[in-house]
Amino acid sequence: NGLNRQRIIKLLKADGIKVHELPMIIKDFKDADEIFCTGNIAKVMPVQRFEDKEMKSTKLSNHARELYWDFALSKYS
């Protein structure tokens, strides 16, 4: 439950995006339109492939990354 993950969830919710935190199984990842990871280095990183499925959408991960950098740059500028 990292700091960047918590920040991204908070920013997405503040932007009106529904965020559901729940346990997931492999099928959930296989059925997903988009998957992204959060972390200290990349902040928000879209997953390009899960097993044999190429993930084509990056709309939400790009939006989450923009929200993060808008927050970070406004806080520290």
Place of tokens 């520290």: 76
Please state, in angstroms and rounded to a whole number, the distance separating the CA atoms of residues 67 and 69. Answer: 6
Please state, in angstroms and rounded to a whole number, the distance separating the CA atoms of residues 67 and 62. Answer: 9
Give the per-residue pLDDT at 77.
61
Q: Are 5 and 68 in contact (CB under 8 A)?
A: no
pTM summary value: 0.85
For the stretch 1-51, pLDDT in tens is: 899 999 999 999 999 999 999 999 999 999 999 999 999 999 999 999 999
Q: Residue 57: pLDDT above 70?
A: yes
Average pLDDT over residues 57-65: 94
Give the per-residue pLDDT at 75.
74
CATH among 1.10.10.60, 3.40.50.800, 3.90.550.10, 3.20.10.10 for 3-71: 3.20.10.10
